[in-house]
Amino acid sequence: MKKIKNYCWIFGMILIPSFLLAQTEPQDVAAVDNKFQNYFYESLKQKSIENYDRAIDALQQCKELEPNNAVVYFELGKNYLSQKKYKDAYDNFEKVTQMDPKNRWAWVGMYDVCYATRDYNQSIVIVEKLIEFKEDYKEDLVSLYMNTQQFDKALELINELNDKVGKSDKRELYKAEILKDAKYQSAEKNNLLEQIKKNPKEESNYVALIYLYSQSNQEEKALEIAKKLELAIPTSDWAQVSLFKFHLNNNDGDNAVKAMNIVLPSKKIDPKIKHRMLNEFLIFAKNNPKYETDLDKAISYFDNDKEVKVAKEIGKFYYSKANWDKAIKYFEMHLKNAEDDIETQLLLLQAFTEKQQFDVLSKKADDLSQLFPTQPEFYYYAGLANNQLSSYKKAAEFLETGLDFVIDNAALEINFNIQLGESYNGLGDMKKKEKYFAKANELIKKQKK
């Protein structure tokens, strides 16, 4: 909670009180006057050098001379607050408000004490008084309601302030936190409907209401608001977000694509929403292959996305479904701008293996072994591919080179030895064949222990 700070406690505000004019002798009045002033200015001097005990001593002398002087109690409150003697500070500020209820700065002092001691309930009482002096304190009141979990009051005040002075990031965060609880959503839906009636051109109210309806599984109402938004603001990108979902649910791919192609290039829409739309369209396109070209176009909107590598993730999606052709297509699309992504390179090589495209696998793995000469998996795939192509000598050379780079990877080492056994079997060297197969069996037994 960020509290409004007031830095108006300056010497220029402090008025030396009237002196004891009831005294009949002028010389006596002057004596008391000078005495009070001396003590008072001594207190200011000591406070300025943070010698609060001496400042308080001087102010106590002032209080004896003028026991009904509000300025003395106010200064005492400030000094005690600086010493973190919160009860003494509060009592002196309160004394000022009793003497002068319209002294705003004394109320501020009491608020400072309550804030410092985290007495938020009492802070609310004081801030409600401060609002009479300055409406800005309503911002503090919102935070205090949040701290005391009076969310219904907080929501009501947030909406009031949004209407009067406009939205703020802090209030919107508070509001989002409150609306996580479904019991407050009904009131907010009604508020947003009212706001839409009052100002039909304010896009954010439609968006917030669509979100709330979607969160509570009221898809029909969300769609109704999206259509209202499209009518009120035909250029709204947000309307297309909900319409996209509606079109997909109705198996209307053409209109879903139109909506998607408006949303994806939009700078107004959150990237997370765009990713969700793309994932939904991916599943749709999987069952409706004629829209694959539209999927490729959609992916192009994410080329500069540093958070999520979309083509790679789609490749993984098809890989998990054993759709090797599409997995290869999207992995290669990703690798055009990310050649050093080892994980994707290996997934691509495995996809070629599953497709039994050993000539392509051989060339690709050979190139990668030269590009990444210490990466053993690339030698392994080159050896495997050449074994399948009956190029046993070449396979053995790749495998023996790559085996030297295998460190703490038993599974990979087993596969290297099996492929080396296959290479020497093809070459007719039974001794080496048995050597590598025996080594593979030994490593397998170790893994089972």
Domains of the chain: total? 2
pLDDT value of residue 8: 39
Stretches in the chain below the pLDDT threshold 70: 1-33, 306-307, 449
For residue 296 the two structure tokens come to 């490729």
Q: What one-character DSSP code corresponds to residue 192?
A: H
User: Which structural domain range is residue 42 located in?
Assistant: 1-133
For residue 447, being part of any structural domain is answered with yes
The answer to whether residues 417 and 436 touch, using CB atoms and an 8 Å cutoff, is yes
Domain presence at residue 293: no
Rg (CA), the chain: 38
- Which of 105, 133, 161 is the last residue in one of the domains? 133
Domain boundary among 92, 111, 133: 133
Residue 325 lies inside a defined structural domain of this protein: no
Take residue 169 and report the two structure tokens written for it: 């990031």
pTM for the full predicted model: 0.56
Of 73, 99, 133, the residue that ends a domain is 133
| Residue 226 · residue 208 · CB < 8 Å | no
Report whether 65 contacts 31 (CB < 8 A): no
Q: What is the pLDDT of residues 317-344, one digit of tens each?
A: 999 999 999 999 999 999 998 899 999 9
Question: What Cα–Cα distance (Å) separates residue 268 from each residue in 193, 241, 357?
Answer: 22, 11, 44
Q: Would 154 be classed as within a structural domain?
A: no
73-124 tens-digit pLDDT: 999 999 999 999 999 999 999 999 999 999 999 999 999 999 999 999 999 9
Closest CA to 41 of 66, 69, 68, 72: 72
> What local confidence, expressed as pLDDT, does residue 33 receive?
62
d(CA 100, CA 93): 10
Does some domain include residue 270? Answer: no
Residue 237 lies in a domain: no
Please report where in the chains the tokens 């909506």 appear, as a residue: 259
- Can you tell me the distance from the alpha carbon of 309 to that of 303, in angstroms, rounded to the nearest whole number? 8
Task: Tell me the C-alpha distance between 60 and 64, whole Å.
Answer: 6
SS3 257: helix
Which CATH number fits the domain that encloses residue 448?
1.25.40.10
CA 402, CA 385: separation in Å to the nearest integer? 14
Residue 75's CB is within 10 A of a number of other CB atoms, namely 25
Whether residue 66 lies inside any domain: the answer is: yes
CB-CB neighbours of 271 under 10 Å:
11
pLDDT at 3: 58
At 336, which amino acid appears?
K
Q: Is residue 46 part of a domain?
A: yes
Q: Residue 154 and residue 409: Cα distance in Å, rounded?
A: 58
Q: Quick check: 126 and 105 in contact, CB under 8 A?
A: no
